[in-house]
Amino acid sequence: MRLPLASAAALAVLAACQGDETISGYAGTDTAWRLVEIDGAPFTARAVIRFPEAGQVAGEAPCNTFSGRQSAPYPWFKAEALAVTRRACDALAEETRFFAAFGRVSLAEVQGDMLILSDPDGPEMVFEKVQP
């Protein structure tokens, strides 16, 4: 049976997405990514994300910890169903800035020790790999 050209191209794209280990390759490794800037401005508060298992995201925002699903295949990114603790601290403004950007990003790109989460119409978050 021969597949139409459009179907064959679609299958090739899907296979490429499924075989890409760029972010999912860090799942379960306890690799941490520290936020260093949002939209080109330094982010000085502590915020770290991890991918504890394939399809999961977790981390520490400036005041609270969170966990949820990362449900989009690479290079897309979608954090959803986030469970967040409810502690107050002096860095609530930075935390609000973090979650506002984190909730809007839709693309992921790993460049060496950098993880960039972005959206064509919105924020760009730059993370550095935390060295053990």
In total, the chain counts a number of residues equal to 132
The answer as to CATH 1.10.3210.10 being correct for domain 22-129 is: no
Q: What is the pLDDT along the chain (132 residues), one digit of tens a residue?
A: 444 444 333 333 333 444 444 466 666 677 899 999 999 999 999 999 999 988 999 999 999 999 999 988 889 999 999 999 999 999 999 999 999 999 999 999 999 999 999 999 989 999 999 976
Alpha-carbon dihedral of residues 99, 68, 19, 122, nearest 10 degrees?
Answer: -20
Bridge partner residues of 108 (DSSP): 117
